[in-house]
Amino acid sequence: MPKSKAAAGKKKTKKSASKLSQKLAPSAKPKRRLFTGIKTLFTLDRAFRKAARRVTADDLDRIDGAAFVSENGRIVWVGKEKDLPREFKNAIKSEDLQGAVVLPAFVESHTHLIYAGNRAAEFERRNQGESYQSIAKSGGGILATLIPTREASEKELTAIGQERAERFLKQGVSTIEVKSGYALTAEGEMKMLRAAGAIRRARIVRTFLGAHAIPKEFKSAEAYIDYLLEEALPQLKKEGLACRADIFIEQGYFSKELGKKYLSRFREEGFDLAVHADQLSRCGGAELAVELKARSAEHLIQINDEDIRKLSASEVTCVLLPTADLYMNCAYPPARKLIDQGARVALATDLNPGTSPSSDVALVGVLARIYMKMSLPETIVAYTLGGAYALGLEKELGSISKGKLADFVVLEGEMEELFLEAGRQPVARLYREGERLL
């Protein structure tokens, strides 16, 4: 083979392999497993075939008396236990799930999991009537997180992140998206992403959010964006530290125009895109997400009917974060309008020290059900398949379908008890790629 052709082939293989490993960090060993004794299995396969749009209770795809088989961490057969093919009955490691209800593991598609310090005092001051501006002036707000996160070592950040990841695992979450964005220097952001990459057990999907705020060291948003593209982007690529890029489009942060410049560059380099869009004011974030074919647009409190129409007609997944709206004491996003017009929706905690210091998955669903009028099947699909779509992992996660990874939860109650009791998801066990984590 001519040298140039061989080199080109090698390069291509390396690129696709590194992208997959960033996304999934596969832990599968060659193993075949049979899971039986399932009272009810909700596969969500029908929701998957509908691309998680306009889902109803039927789309949870219920199988009573179910079983399924995984091989090397992937589902190879799903059905009624009595229909199990003979080839899977013998010479297989079998687990009896003892009459439990089973459904896909949850996907947490928006967190700021890695940060040091806390903003507890600020929360108290805000509730006692002090304005956000006044708190920010006296060193509060994002700066209050920036300093301790810059000072923390990578090892310390991993330890903090691991502890928080364990809280998600306990609630049946196997996959967690983690954003950078609390160092706001090229090296500090890399440190955050390396720290996230060292978290064990949970599957971590890393997102570069260097454009979270404008650090004091820069005179303008433009200058900071140029710095990120020149200094951070090459390092990110070199080390393969993230596969997604995100930006906060908001007044006083980054404009739609600047967002377009920044995200377009990341897209050229093969990154998936996400946008913190229209949270505090309508600034064109949702429009930009549609225009650039981003995987997701997040928050979406201030969108209007035109934005809703565009989002619904697009492939963008709308990631809704009602715990942040609770803490911000603001309106909730128009989930009903989005869903009714055919938009795909995900739900997540937005865990962060300022506006959503909570990793309570059940609470997210409770708020979505009460204030956003989402049905329980819509809430379940949003926290599984919707999250998988937001992360570009819909072919791997979010439903118990042939060919997908065997990530699932075994409940200690009925499906109807999910997203009911804040602080508690009735999850007895969690499996990732057929291996028990919990």
Question: Which of the residues 344 through 363 are near Zn ion (CB under 5 A)?
Answer: 350
Check binding of 177 to Zn ion (CB under 5 A): no
Rounded least distance, CB 165 to Zn ion, Å? 17
Contact 191, 242 (CB under 8 A): no
Check binding of 396 to Zn ion (CB under 5 A): no
Return the axis-axis angle of helices 186-197 and 142-151, rounded to nearest 10°: 70
Q: What is the token pair recorded at 394?
A: 């819909």
Helix spans in 128-181 (H): 132-137, 142-151, 154-170
Q: Which is nearer to Zn ion, 122 or 350 (CB)?
A: 350
Q: Which is nearer to Zn ion, 327 or 371 (CB)?
A: 327
Rounded least distance, CB 237 to Zn ion, Å? 23
Between the alpha carbon of residue 74 and those of residues 91, 213, 335, 406, the distances in Å are 18, 40, 33, 5
Gap between the Cα atoms of 65 and 80, Å rounded: 6
Q: Which is nearer to Zn ion, 212 or 404 (CB)?
A: 212
**Could you give the angle at the alpha carbon of 52 between the alpha carbons of 410 and 286, nearest 5°?**
120
> Mask: binding to Zn ion, 295-334, rule CB under 5 A, as x and -?
----------------------------------------
Check binding of 250 to Zn ion (CB under 5 A): no
Question: Which of the residues 11 through 50 are near Zn ion (CB under 5 A)?
Answer: none
Q: Which is nearer to Zn ion, 165 or 406 (CB)?
A: 165
Rounded least distance, CB 302 to Zn ion, Å? 15
Strand positions, DSSP E, 23-105: 32-42, 62-71, 74-80, 93-104
Q: Which is nearer to Zn ion, 272 or 350 (CB)?
A: 350
Between the alpha carbon of residue 155 and those of residues 116, 238, 395, the distances in Å are 12, 21, 33
Check binding of 246 to Zn ion (CB under 5 A): no
Rounded least distance, CB 122 to Zn ion, Å? 17
Rounded least distance, CB 132 to Zn ion, Å? 16
Rounded least distance, CB 323 to Zn ion, Å? 11
The HSE-up count of residue 215 (CA atoms within 13 Å, CB side) is 20
Q: Could you tell me how many residues of this chain bind Zn ion (CB under 5 A)? A: 1
DSSP state of 44: -
Q: Which is nearer to Zn ion, 101 or 160 (CB)?
A: 160
Check binding of 189 to Zn ion (CB under 5 A): no
Rounded least distance, CB 321 to Zn ion, Å? 7
Residue 107 burial (C-beta neighbours within 10 Å; 0-12, 13-18, 19+):
buried
Gap between the Cα atoms of 355 and 340, Å rounded: 28
Q: Which is nearer to Zn ion, 272 or 407 (CB)?
A: 272
Binding-site ranges for Zn ion (CB under 5 A): 350
